[in-house]
Amino acid sequence: MYDANPLIHHLRAATIGREAVVFATGPDVGTVSYADLFAGAERMAASLVSRGVLPGDRVAAQVDKSLTAIELYLGTVMAGAVFLPLNPAYTDTEVAYFIGDATPRVFVCDPARVDRLRTVAGEAALMTLDGHGNGSLADLAATQHGFDLVARDPSDLAAILYTSGTTGRSKGAMLSHENLYSNSLTLRDYWQFTSDDVLIHALPIFHTHGLFVATNVALLAGAQVVFLPGFDAEAILAAMPSSTALMGVPTFYTRLLADPRLTPELAANMRLFISGSAPLLVETHENWEERTGHRILERYGMTETNMSSSNPYDGDRIAGTVGQPLPGVEARVMKDDQAVQLGEIGVLEVRGPNVFQGYWQMPEKTAEELRPDGWFITGDLAKIDDKGYVTIVGREKDLVITGGFNVYPKEVESLIDDLPGVLESAVIGVPHPDFGEAVVAIVIPTGHDISSEAVSTALSDQLAKFKQPKHIEVMAALPRNTMGKVQKKALRETFAELFS
């Protein structure tokens, strides 16, 4: 019966007949069997259908992380509908845009916000669910019994995830059943996940990393999951001795490194630490190995493509690179519509079953970024070495063009990061009357005093003049979003008037 619904078929297959249990903590303290999780998902599906959800309809959810929210995701797909998770941090105005754009049949929100969001819900049936799994949707689900899966084709949509929208309007990336299950199957095998694994899940579930990479891979392996409501160093360190894997963003690793309890003994049962969604500093990679004996496995992907490349499980995990294209995924680096020479920097393009179906109701945007022959233009600047390892150099739009010369922020950042007393840095371009743009470096010290002059002097004989920052600002921390990405747009705004 499950064959008819490809994603659910694959996600359930490994959990059937297994005693695999989801260990939950936080608001969901206790254990839940996979059989119960899927039974809950069926009740969700039945509830959604009772509220008029038809195949292809969108179900939007702006809810806190909980197992019930996972049931809502699975139930939506079971009902043949399209899951649309929204970051709980989005304001009412932002939510209004997503609801207006995606016109969901059902919109599930936090009970605390239901009165305010009623005005933006439009035609959608408004239901509630809080972080403890309570609300009108849970009440309705409690009255349901079983559900016959709605049949879908592999090319039918299972989810729409809005991109973070660093330039212009946020775009809804349409992901098919096949996009999701093919990528998760590849990752499960590539990273050797089995039912013996216990995965620490501390990522948000409104983003591709926590919802698809972590959740789908664990389900496909029939692995156990320590399901945490969010990042919590205390809970992660407590879970480590009885867990085998952690998936995190770089900030997870830097924060855990700050805790003296992180030792090789504590991590002795762990077999795999995975990082992605933002660049992992080489320094973090090295410090982690020193402190735990483990080399972090870094991978690369984006909302539109799921995961595209990964460092190997058995082979060389090279710090500062995002590894090789995953099996079935092709990657190339292009400049002016031509493939560059090996090792040269250009825009990374990827192709494979992982690549999305286009942007929701934005055919022009889709045509700009997804070529007719299936290559997706990622917008990331990258280079590929002779062994096929990909290095991400930054976003194309973060490239600084000063006096007609290209400056790749990563090149300058790497040199600054290597200086003693520097924790990390961000290099941006800001408007400059003479040069068009000027290179500006924001430097975060490790705690010791470090002056702009010292950084400037250290760089003077290492970089061509045009690459040297025209201004260096020492700050306490870089602005980051929940996924650990440095918000360069915010920095550009802060320093926009510097040279005017």
Closest separation between CB of residue 302 and ligand AMP, Å?
3
* Strand bridging mode 338-339 / 330-335: antiparallel
Closest separation between CB of residue 360 and ligand AMP, Å?
15
Alpha-carbon span 500 to 497, nearest angstrom: 5
Alpha-helical (H) ranges within 370-408 are: none
Starting at the edge strand found earlier in the chain, the sheet holding 172-176 runs 125-128, 106-109, 58-62, 82-85, 157-162, 172-176
Closest separation between CB of residue 323 and ligand AMP, Å?
9
Closest separation between CB of residue 483 and ligand AMP, Å?
6
Alpha-carbon span 141 to 127, nearest angstrom: 11
23-62 exposure pattern, b = at least 16 Cβ within 10 A, e = fewer? bbebbbeeebebbebbebbbbbbbbbbebebeeebbbbbb
Q: Which helix (H) or strand (E) holds 237?
A: helix 233-239
Residue placing its CB nearer to ligand AMP in the complex, 78 or 442: 442
Residue placing its CB nearer to ligand AMP in the complex, 172 or 301: 301
Q: Give me 399's structure tokens.
A: 């490239």
Residue placing its CB nearer to ligand AMP in the complex, 56 or 315: 315
Locate tokens 């490790």: which residue? 446
* Residues in contact with 338: Cβ distance below 8 Å, sequence separation at least 6, in sequence order: none
Residue placing its CB nearer to ligand AMP in the complex, 60 or 302: 302
CA neighbor of 426 nearest in space, from 410, 438, 437: 410
Closest separation between CB of residue 304 and ligand AMP, Å?
7
Residue placing its CB nearer to ligand AMP in the complex, 127 or 347: 347
Closest separation between CB of residue 154 and ligand AMP, Å?
22
* Residues 15 and 162 sit within 8 Å (Cβ to Cβ): no
* Amino acid at site 74: L
Residue placing its CB nearer to ligand AMP in the complex, 46 or 347: 347
Residue placing its CB nearer to ligand AMP in the complex, 322 or 439: 322
Residue placing its CB nearer to ligand AMP in the complex, 106 or 427: 427
Phi, psi at residue 112, to the nearest 5°?
A: -65, -20
* Residues 8 and 77 sit within 8 Å (Cβ to Cβ): yes
Residue placing its CB nearer to ligand AMP in the complex, 6 or 204: 204
Closest separation between CB of residue 420 and ligand AMP, Å?
25
Closest separation between CB of residue 188 and ligand AMP, Å?
19
What residues line the site for ligand AMP (CB under 6 A)? 163-164, 208, 276-279, 298, 300-303, 322, 378, 380, 392, 395, 483
Using left for φ > 0, alpha for ψ between -120 and 50, and beta otherwise, residue 72 falls in: alpha
Residue placing its CB nearer to ligand AMP in the complex, 203 or 444: 203
* Residues 223 and 21 sit within 8 Å (Cβ to Cβ): no
Q: Give me 293's structure tokens.
A: 């004996």
Closest separation between CB of residue 395 and ligand AMP, Å?
5
* Amino acid at site 46: A
